[in-house]
């Protein structure tokens, strides 16, 4: 018996519908199996925030409770881009998960760095012989270093980005909050008598945690025009209260005219910034 054109078209449409359903099912199976091959993790704190980007500065999109299972799709810095069982996607800090992500960073482009421009606002810091304030030059130097680090892919936080007061306690707190791979506090020294001291010094507090960072960076300062006074222990709150590798740099004596000529120089800041980046590269590559 001959089929009518209408019956023939209906048969074709029916076959296409079945084929579409089969393809959709196959895609679903492949997708589910693909996700199964990704790392599975679980929230191990009472609550963690799902965010729009890999950092605490990004907007929160959802709160996840302890025990929530997540599929890790990719990672950046100490953050995972994850998928929940309800198909929510976002970034979560890997230190709030079990098992945790790798703690050691081997490349600068995956590192989280906190830079701390000393003083600020009502706290001027030390003064040059002409009354110039330390806080001005610590900020300029930190911004120069931040620019160089970001150009190389690092995630950089500054404890201040303008002339404002930041408490001593708040500075290491930021480092502890973001789980910094390195914290560097920038300062300029001052001597009791003008023009009586010169040079740069690198300080650490926790030897086991921070000495290798101090050494990696201090070794790079041998190319600057001021004497390298080496590495010393320093009981400074911003590095003492840090749970992560932390150093404090005194990059010249602001009340010594010869040093101040360097401190105020953009060429000097660029040289120091490049040295800090080179030191950090060495530090992470040896992890």
Full pLDDT tens readout for the chain, 287 residues: 455 555 555 545 556 666 666 665 555 544 444 444 468 899 999 999 999 999 999 999 999 999 999 999 999 998 999 999 999 999 999 999 988 766 688 999 999 999 999 999 999 999 999 999 999 999 999 999 999 999 999 999 999 999 999 999 999 999 999 999 999 999 999 999 999 999 999 999 999 999 999 999 999 999 999 999 999 999 999 999 999 999 999 999 999 999 999 999 999 999 999 999 999 999 999 98
Element (H, E) at 101: none
- Beta carbons of 178 and 114 less than 8 angstroms apart: yes
Q: What angle do CA 259, 265, 268 make, to 5 degrees?
A: 80
CB atoms within 10 A of CB 14: 10
DSSP state of 216: H
| Exposed / middle / buried, residue 241 (Cβ in 10 Å: 0-12, 13-18, 19+) | middle
Number of domains in the chain: 2
Distance CA 218, CA 228 (A): 8
Q: Are residues 134 and 253 in the same domain?
A: yes
Q: Is 263 helix (H, G, I), strand (E, B) or coil?
A: helix
Q: Are residues 78 and 120 in the same domain?
A: no
Residue 177 domain boundaries: 108-285
Q: Are residues 233 and 119 in the same domain?
A: yes
Does residue 18 fall inside a structural domain? no
Distance CA 82, CA 278 (A): 33
Cα 131–chain centre separation? 34
Q: At what angle do helices 266-285 and 207-218 cross, to 10 degrees?
A: 130
Q: Are residues 234 and 260 in the same domain?
A: yes
Q: Are residues 66 and 147 in the same domain?
A: no
The pTM (predicted TM-score) of the whole model is 0.81
Domain harbouring 156, CATH code: 3.40.630.40
Cα 10–chain centre separation? 61
Q: Are residues 165 and 269 in the same domain?
A: yes
Q: How do residues 121-130 score in pLDDT, each as one tens digit?
A: 999 999 999 9
Give which of 41, 97, 88 is closest to 61, Cα–Cα: 88
């Amino acid at each position: 018996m001959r089929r009518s054109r209408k019956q023939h078209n209906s048969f074709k449409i029916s076959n296409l519908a079945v084929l579409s359903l089969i393809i959709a099912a196959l895609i679903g199976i492949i997708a589910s199996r693909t996700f199964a091959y990704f790392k599975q993790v679980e929230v191990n704190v009472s609550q963690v925030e799902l965010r729009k980007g890999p950092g605490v500065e990004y907007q929160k999109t959802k709160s996840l409770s302890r025990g929530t299972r997540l599929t890790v799709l990719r990672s950046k810095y100490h953050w995972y881009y994850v998928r929940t069982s309800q198909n929510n996607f976002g970034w979560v800090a890997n230190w709030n998960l079990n098992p945790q992500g790798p703690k050691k960073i081997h490349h600068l482009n995956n590192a989280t760095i906190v830079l701390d421009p000393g003083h600020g606002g009502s706290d001027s810091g030390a003064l040059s012989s002409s009354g110039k304030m330390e806080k001005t030059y610590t900020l300029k130097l930190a911004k120069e270093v931040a620019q160089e680090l970001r150009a190389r892919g690092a995630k950089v936080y500054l404890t201040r980005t303008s002339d404002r007061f930041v408490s001593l306690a708040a500075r290491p707190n930021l480092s502890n909050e973001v789980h910094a791979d390195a914290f560097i506090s920038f300062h300029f020294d001052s001597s009791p008598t003008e023009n009586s001291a010169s040079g740069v010094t690198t300080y650490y507090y926790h030897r086991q945690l921070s000495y290798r960072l101090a050494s990696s960076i201090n070794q790079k300062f041998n190319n600057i025009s001021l004497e390298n006074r080496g590495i010393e222990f320093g009981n400074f709150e911003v590095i003492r209260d840090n749970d992560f590798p932390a150093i404090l740099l005194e990059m010249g004596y602001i009340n010594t005219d010869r040093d101040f000529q360097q401190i105020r120089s953009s060429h000097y800041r660029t040289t120091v910034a490049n040295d800090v980046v080179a030191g950090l590269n060495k530090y992470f590559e040896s992890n």
